[in-house]
Structure 1
Amino acid sequence: MSNPVVHIANLNLHYAATAVLCDLNWRVYSGEHWIIAGKSGSGKSSLAKAMVKLEKSSGEASFHFDPENSMPPLAYYVANWYQFANLEGDRNFYYQQRYNKQQQNDTLTVYADLLHFGQKHQLDFHDAEPILLALGFENCRQTQLIELSSGEHKKLQLVQALWLSPQLLILDEPYTGLDKRSRARLNTMLDEMANAGSTLILITNDRDIPSSINRFAQIENGQLNAVADFNDIKQDEERQRKPFPYFLQKAPVVDSDTMISLHNVSVRYGEKEVLKNISWKVKVGEKWLLQGPNGSGKSTLLSLLNGDHPQAYANDIALFGKKRGSGESIWDIKQKIGIISPELHWYFDKNATVWHAIASGFYDSIGWFLQVKYEEKKQIEQLLDFFDLLEDKDKLLHTLPLGKQRLALLARTIIKNPQLLILDEPCQGLDRSQTAHFNAVLDELSSYGKTLIYVGHYESQLPSCLDNRLVLEKGEVVILEYA
């Protein structure tokens, strides 16, 4: 038998005193294309990072590339998050910075970033053009990196990977933030790469995968175990339902019967019009699904609602019964809103413990908080117990498995029992069991008079409480459905 493309022997990886990978052995041969899936926190991403020396480990991890293959003899890893820097190489960004026009020019444009990538790997930019077109990313060339949504950041990562077309491609959560059309086109291009001689390794619990995938595995007790089929991969155990904390069983005190009122709202960056004449009303207790392809304007619309976007003052927008610019501060608005978004998750303070992260919801900060009151401490403890996070409360949020991070951020979102909940793709990266649990919590929470705006691409992954729908495309409303 020929040499394996991937040869891993006795690989060990520890985080502090916790063993993640224990004498793990794995071989991947030419023609094999793998999915690694399974339980949150089992070590899937750690394995991928250890393979490409991004995590310190012991043991052997080597690659054997085909000298007759015209593809670059490289193992290329695409991380879950896109780690970009400003022009000085600094990555210390803050959440609202992407809407601050005075600081947006601090990062490269998509085009400049791709040119830099192409020069580094000696690639012809003309070969990237059809990939940009296929992923619907061609109109983002002059967009600053800091302005991109999570789905657009993922597209930039994928354009680079597909353009490079290495002999071994490792994709960690490749579908994060992508709309349905982009996922289908990505799978087509990955199949083309596989047929051309590339070996694929995808880390995902998503079931909509390339047809070329022919091997499946999960990590259990630090070992990689192959299984016959995706359905044989174990998911996180179904959580036992607990009674909701009493303070969340009360309908929030509201200021107006209308939460949101937008009339002919438009947002423009120079010649680029991101939103065009948006009119929309959200009344107390309504549950809305907000949809649209990547780049349709969803993130910009939400930034107008949560007080982060400065162009809100130039538009006819009323929040909680008050017109923007009539004297209320951004903190007055944020006090009435609980929000989860991929961007908030990405920018969250890396020094925040789970307890601090939840407590920061009282003050609408990204991890930082003031001295909390006795009643607030009780609410934090109740939510820690409700979400089974008590044993994790003193751990750094970013060290937890993704599923637990999302639950902690949901706890942060609801800790003050806000008038309006805005949940922007809260189930990205979660498996079916985690998503079902998350959405069941939302369904029960919404029954207590909550008003909800939920962003999600896939109907099969949505909470059942949603009964109104707004769909954007190219910055315009194309569907507006009321219950």
Structure 2
Amino acid sequence: MKESFVSIQDLNLKHQQKSVLKDLTWAINRGENWALGGTSGSGKTSLAKIIAGLQNAAGEVKINFNNESHLPAEVLFVESWYQFKNLEGVANFYYQQRYTSQQAKDTLTVHAELVNYGKEKGIHLDKVEHILEALNFSSFASSQLIELSSGEHKKLQLVKALWLKPQLLIIDQPYTGLDAASRKNLNLLLDEVSTDGVQLILICNDSELPSSIHRFAEIVNGQISVSNSRTITSVSDDQHSKEIPDFLKESPVYSSENIVNMIDVNISYGEKQVLKNINWEVKAGEKWLLQGHNGSGKSTLLSLVNGDHPQSYANELYLFGNRRGSGESIWDIKQHIGLISPEFHWYFDASATVWQSIASGFYDTVGLFQQLPYTKGQQVDELVEYFGLTENKNELLSSLPLGRQRLVLLARTIIKNPELLILDEPCQGLDQQQTVHFNQLVDELCSNGMTLIYVGHFESQLPTCIEKRILLEKGEVKVVESLNIEILS
């Protein structure tokens, strides 16, 4: 008989009076590595937190650590959402702060963060270099935490987890924000620690998994459903039959035929050059894919388009027909743009309701601070219904599962039918069905003439409307090309 490592009996959890986990029972035997899937909001993250002792629930969870193992008798849960703090222990940051170099000194460097973690856990720095190199993260040692992109923050979390090698490692959305090479190397590293005795639970719906993952389950109707292979049988509520709201069928009103024009743009932080001689032109109605490895400069490039980067004034940059710094404010620029990014999600107002969060897109604020006119309120109601958020509209955004939070912010992004839609990894946290549905929505929106800049590492999860690609490598433009996204994916 196999020895049980994790034993879960009759687990029950409710959220907003609604059952999430219902008499859930699950036995994880010693030596088993699992992939746990399921739709967004099915309870995957909650279950992981309960196993790790980070959340309470009714029922019984027993973990039988191996006292003879050289690995720490610990359950480490790596969240999909990373919260770091400044030197005073506060996490009160604002979105543009990442690009303001003087204020960036308020946080630890990556190296200092790793030194502190090593001291806390009693592990040696010489054991981490191999992991840093495999994830192409060694060059970020002197970077401030606030300067890192979402993919780079994910790498830092993974570096610490793989360095520690706990007896049970649970990773929520391990591939979020990672480029293809990093995903491949992560799988090799996970196989490596598994050989050393670490047991894995990966919470994801991805198919490219480490070879050490040999058990598969998903949460369906609050209970564990075990299968013999990676097959996701449960799906989100089908929304394909819903018709897009009428106000989004209208073509955007363009202020200029030239949306973005960068001429020999350079961005540096001290001696570190992030963007080098960038030349890029985006015209009204074009659909672009922006790609590059983690750290290639994609987020910095987008911060120039958004109007958020202070160094834009020192460069020859034209947005919506106007030279940057010719008198327009950051809010004048944002009126033309609908934006979603992991970083923006981090800094969004957690005290806003779902309805208020969507409505704030009219004013480009991180919360709603004024009364909405009747017609605009109707448009918010239409999007709430379209995205299947009616039952959540008065709940706090922060109380929803991460995938549904992302749907709310996606609705916020398109509420004003903008000239330019910037979608930076928009499907992070969405399940497969939601991802397909969202990209179909993007295709429909863009068929009406909207301009698109789309950042995506997973080429199988892209809208079909994309027609051009710009590829960055170490801060430089490596490729600009026309493409057929159906062939690419």
Q: TM-score range by the shorter chain?
A: over 0.9
Query: 2:151 touches 2:294 (CA, 8 Å); kept in 1?
Result: yes
Q: Which residue of 1 aligns with 2:487?
A: none
Partner AA of 1:415 in structure 2: I
Q: Which residue of 2 aligns with 1:106?
A: 106
Cα separation, 2, equivalents of 1:74 and 1:482? 50
Q: Which moved more, 1:111-120 or 1:219-228?
A: 219-228
Query: 2:40 touches 2:429 (CA, 8 Å); kept in 1?
Result: no
Q: Which residue of 2 aligns with 1:410?
A: 410
- TM-score (norm: length of structure 1): 0.97
Using the TM superposition, give the Cα deviation of residue 2 of structure 1 relative to its aligned residue in structure 2, in angstroms: 5.4
User: Which digits, 9 at most, give the CA deviation of each residue in 1:215-272, with x for residues without a partner?
Assistant: 1111123222212221154232432332222221121111111100001111100111
**2:400 maps to 1:388:** no
Q: Which residue of 1 aligns with 2:179?
A: 179
Query: 2:41 touches 2:404 (CA, 8 Å); kept in 1?
Result: no
| 1:399-438 map, 5 Å | 399-438=399-438
| 1:367-378 map, 5 Å | 367-378=367-378
Partner AA of 1:443 in structure 2: D
| 1:230-379 map, 5 Å | 230-379=230-379
Using the TM superposition, give the Cα deviation of residue 39 of structure 1 relative to its aligned residue in structure 2, in angstroms: 1.3
Change (3 A) 1:357 1:71: same
Q: Which residue of 2 aligns with 1:440?
A: 440
Cα separation, 2, equivalents of 1:327 and 1:429? 38
Q: Which moved more, 1:443-452 or 1:97-106?
A: 97-106
Using the TM superposition, give the Cα deviation of residue 97 of structure 1 relative to its aligned residue in structure 2, in angstroms: 1.3
**2:198 maps to 1:202:** no
Change (3 A) 1:233 1:200: farther
| 1:466-481 map, 5 Å | 466-481=466-481
Using the TM superposition, give the Cα deviation of residue 447 of structure 1 relative to its aligned residue in structure 2, in angstroms: 0.5
**2:142 maps to 1:132:** no
Query: 1:6 touches 1:61 (CA, 8 Å); kept in 2?
Result: yes
Using the TM superposition, give the Cα deviation of residue 476 of structure 1 relative to its aligned residue in structure 2, in angstroms: 0.6
Query: 2:354 touches 2:394 (CA, 8 Å); kept in 1?
Result: yes
Partner AA of 1:238 in structure 2: D
Query: 1:359 touches 1:369 (CA, 8 Å); kept in 2?
Result: no
Query: 1:227 touches 1:233 (CA, 8 Å); kept in 2?
Result: no
Query: 1:363 touches 1:369 (CA, 8 Å); kept in 2?
Result: no
| 1:159-178 map, 5 Å | 159-178=159-178
SS in 1 for 2:231: helix
Query: 1:80 touches 1:174 (CA, 8 Å); kept in 2?
Result: yes
Q: Which residue of 1 aligns with 2:93?
A: 93
Change (3 A) 1:242 1:20: closer
Using the TM superposition, give the Cα deviation of residue 155 of structure 1 relative to its aligned residue in structure 2, in angstroms: 0.2
Q: How many residues align structurally?
A: 483
Q: Which moved more, 1:366-375 or 1:400-409?
A: 400-409
Query: 1:258 touches 1:282 (CA, 8 Å); kept in 2?
Result: yes
- TM-score (norm: length of structure 2): 0.96
Cα separation, 2, equivalents of 1:23 and 1:168? 23
Q: Which residue of 1 aligns with 2:229?
A: 229
Cα separation, 2, equivalents of 1:404 and 1:241? 19
Q: Which residue of 2 aligns with 1:151?
A: 151
Q: Which residue of 2 aligns with 1:220?
A: 220
Cα separation, 2, equivalents of 1:43 and 1:341? 24
Query: 1:37 touches 1:233 (CA, 8 Å); kept in 2?
Result: no
Q: Which residue of 1 aligns with 2:117?
A: 117
Partner AA of 2:428 in structure 1: Q
Query: Quick one: percent identity of the two aligned structures?
Result: 57
**2:54 maps to 1:54:** yes
Q: Give the 4+ runs in structure 1 shifted more than 4 A.
A: none
User: Which digits, 9 at most, give the CA deviation of each residue in 1:60-103, with x for residues without a partner?
Assistant: 22221223322222111101111111111111211111112232
Gaps of 5+ in 1: none
Change (3 A) 1:379 1:160: same
RMSD, aligned CA = 1.3
Cα separation, 2, equivalents of 1:57 and 1:408? 27
